[in-house]
């Protein structure tokens, strides 16, 4: 069996006892343990100069190889091009896209540093699986260093329509870099179609859409590769049983007591402008305006741990949300009821599972999202005999699979308020039917199925 080498910007904590990471880290770890391998990435530490040799830590058949990044490299690669250019661009927020040659060069430089440090660790028969928008050029950088191994890439964000991508100067370079991989994976067929359209109409490449391994074979920039949709998922069975016990945890008990019989709406998101939180708060306000019978009967708990805190747009959204939640609470609160409980902190998986299970509604309304695993986790954590209702944005990748959720347009605050009303008043039978159908989907495509389908497709590369 070939060794698997996983490369991602962040590497899951080496001490598994400290593991609070989500399904992806767990899945990748499982894959690495099965075949033996290396997990290579940034250490999470910023120092004066980027490290010249990776720090290696052995854990059974698995080797962690991590790099400290220098301040300038981190600024230009992570805060700069990854999070001020590619992130807003891939999430269709063109007004927030920064176009800056310096950060593009820094991004390329750090991908070159990753390739320099990784190439000597590779064996000829290894399979290399690169994750996410931080590392698009890594495949080509490895090829330039003579690496002929099977190289796969998976994008954890949406892939934009060609007209949007073209806002980026030298967009063709980014696509050429993607074509250096043997396998390029996206979350959904919609993302895949956007990529294929770019190849066909902008890069004038050849596209063969007869199903090859369930994907599309592409010839462009002198290479042949397979592009496929692999919708990422969760550890469904594990979450189901976790939620069952977590419902009786101390945290869950305290939450229940604090609600004194009120219904709970829950949202859990990184504090990111792509998650649509201001519109979500407005939709909740709209619910209280249009359906005043919910005053003092419903509480909205929004958990939003801060993220990418050096980036100006993230500082701005944090301020905006603090003000907005304060304004709504000031207007509607009673001496014994705060409508929005807004928390800038994170909770472990088990505690969240207990919270999800209590919530009558899971409110997931990103303006644009690659997949959104919170939507899937919320469903898996419900009590099948008395499940809550998922209200889900049509612009989350998950909406293509979770069709029995109440699907909403997150920009339409009145529409979201109506969906909340429908969820709050939905009869038990309908809730059970919708939940059972959603669970069938989540059992069929869980995180193991996702990981195996990707690794199997990469095993069969090259596709020329």
Comparing CB distances to ligand F6P, the nearer of 92 and 291 is: 92
Token reading at 241: 């049983």
Comparing CA positions, the residue from 1, 17, 20, 10 lying closest to residue 61 is 1
Q: How far is the CB of 261 from ligand F6P (least distance, A)?
A: 36
The whole-angstrom separation of Cα 60 and Cα 63 is: 8
The whole-angstrom separation of Cα 420 and Cα 285 is: 11
Q: How far is the CB of 413 from ligand F6P (least distance, A)?
A: 25
Q: How far is the CB of 303 from ligand F6P (least distance, A)?
A: 15
Q: Is 156 a catalytic residue?
A: yes
**Residues forming the site for ligand F6P (CB under 6 A):** 10, 132, 156-157, 307-308
Do the beta carbons of residue 376 and residue 233 sit within 8 Å? Answer: yes
CA distances from 237 to 197, 210, 240, 318 (A): 37, 34, 5, 35
Give the up-direction half-sphere exposure of residue 202: CA atoms within 13 A in the CB hemisphere.
Answer: 19
Pairing of strands 206-212, 215-220: antiparallel
Question: Residue 400: enclosing H or E segment and its boundaries?
Answer: none
Q: How far is the CB of 377 from ligand F6P (least distance, A)?
A: 14
Do the beta carbons of residue 165 and residue 133 sit within 8 Å? Answer: no
The catalytic position among 126, 132, 269, 369 is 369
Comparing CB distances to ligand F6P, the nearer of 50 and 157 is: 157
Q: How far is the CB of 228 from ligand F6P (least distance, A)?
A: 19
Comparing CB distances to ligand F6P, the nearer of 219 and 308 is: 308
Token reading at 152: 């796969």
Comparing CA positions, the residue from 53, 117, 43 lying closest to residue 74 is 43
The order of strands in the sheet holding 4-10 is 55-59, 62-70, 37-47, 4-10, 127-131, 150-154, 183-186, 223-229, 215-220, 206-212
Comparing CB distances to ligand F6P, the nearer of 157 and 365 is: 157
Comparing CB distances to ligand F6P, the nearer of 221 and 378 is: 378
Comparing CB distances to ligand F6P, the nearer of 272 and 401 is: 272
Pairing of strands 215-220, 223-229: antiparallel
The catalytic position among 131, 134, 156, 187 is 156
Q: How far is the CB of 21 from ligand F6P (least distance, A)?
A: 9
Looking at the annotation, which residues are catalytic?
Answer: 156, 369
């Amino acid at each position: 069996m070939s060794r698997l080498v996983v490369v991602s910007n962040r590497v899951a904590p080496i001490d598994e006892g400290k593991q609070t990471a989500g399904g992806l880290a767990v899945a990748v770890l499982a894959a690495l343990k099965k075949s033996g391998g290396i997990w290579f990435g940034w250490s999470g530490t910023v120092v004066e100069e980027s490290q010249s040799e990776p720090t290696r830590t052995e854990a059974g058949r698995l080797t962690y190889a991590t790099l400290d990044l220098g301040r300038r490299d981190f600024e230009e690669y992570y805060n700069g091009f990854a999070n001020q250019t590619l992130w807003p661009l891939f999430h269709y927020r063109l007004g927030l896209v920064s176009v800056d040659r310096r950060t593009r060069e820094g991004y390329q430089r750090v991908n070159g540093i990753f390739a320099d440090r990784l190439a000597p660790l590779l064996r000829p028969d290894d399979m290399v699986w690169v994750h996410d928008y931080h590392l698009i050029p890594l495949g080509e950088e490895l090829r330039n260093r003579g690496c002929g191994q099977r190289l796969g890439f998976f994008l954890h964000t949406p892939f934009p329509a060609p007209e949007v991508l073209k806002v980026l100067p030298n967009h063709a370079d980014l696509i050429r870099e993607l074509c250096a991989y043997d396998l390029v994976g996206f979350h959904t067929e919609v993302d895949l179609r956007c990529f294929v359209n770019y190849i066909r109409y902008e890069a004038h490449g050849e596209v063969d859409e007869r199903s090859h391994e369930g994907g599309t074979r592409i010839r462009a920039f002198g290479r042949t590769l397979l592009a496929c949709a692999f919708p990422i998922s969760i550890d469904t069975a594990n979450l189901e049983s976790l939620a069952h016990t977590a419902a009786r945890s101390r945290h869950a008990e305290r939450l229940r007591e604090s609600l004194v019989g009120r219904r709970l709406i829950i949202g859990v998101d990184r504090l990111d402008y792509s998650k649509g939180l201001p519109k979500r708060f407005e939709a909740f306000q709209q619910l209280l305006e249009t359906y005043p019978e919910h005053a003092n009967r419903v509480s909205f708990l929004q958990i939003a741990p801060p993220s990418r805190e050096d980036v100006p747009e993230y500082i701005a959204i944090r301020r905006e949300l603090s003000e907005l939640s304060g304004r709504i609470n000031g207007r509607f609160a009673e001496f014994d009821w705060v409508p929005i409980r807004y928390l800038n902190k994170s909770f472990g998986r088990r505690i969240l599972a207990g919270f999800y299970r209590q919530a009558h509604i899971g409110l997931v309304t990103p303006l644009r999202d690659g997949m959104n695993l919170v939507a899937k986790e919320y469903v898996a954590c419900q009590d099948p005999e008395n499940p809550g209702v998922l209200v889900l944005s049509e612009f989350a990748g998950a909406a293509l699979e979770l069709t029995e959720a109440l699907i909403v347009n997150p920009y339409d605050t009145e529409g979201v308020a109506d969906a909340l009303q429908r969820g709050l008043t939905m009869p038990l039978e309908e809730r059970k039917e919708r939940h059972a159908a959603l669970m069938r989907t989540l059992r069929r495509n869980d995180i193991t199925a996702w990981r195996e389908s990707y690794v199997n497709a990469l095993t069969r590369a090259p596709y020329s």
